[in-house]
Amino acid sequence: MPNIKSQKDRVVQSKKEAAHNKAIKSNLKTVVKKADAAISAGAADMNDKVKIAASAIDKAASKGVLHKNTASRKVARLAKAAHKAAQ
Burial (0-12, 13-18, 19+ Cβ within 10 Å), 80: exposed
The yes or no reply on domain 5-86 and CATH 1.20.58.110 is yes
What confidence tens digit (pLDDT) does each residue in 50-80 have? 999 999 999 999 999 999 999 999 999 999 9
Tell me the domain boundaries of the chain: 5-86
How far apart (Å, rounded) are the C-alpha atoms in residues 73 and 19?
A: 25
- Burial class, 23, CB count within 10 angstroms (exposed 0-12 / middle 13-18 / buried 19+): exposed
Which pLDDT does position 1 carry in this prediction? 84
Q: Mind listing the pLDDT tens digit for each residue in 14-24? A: 999 999 999 99
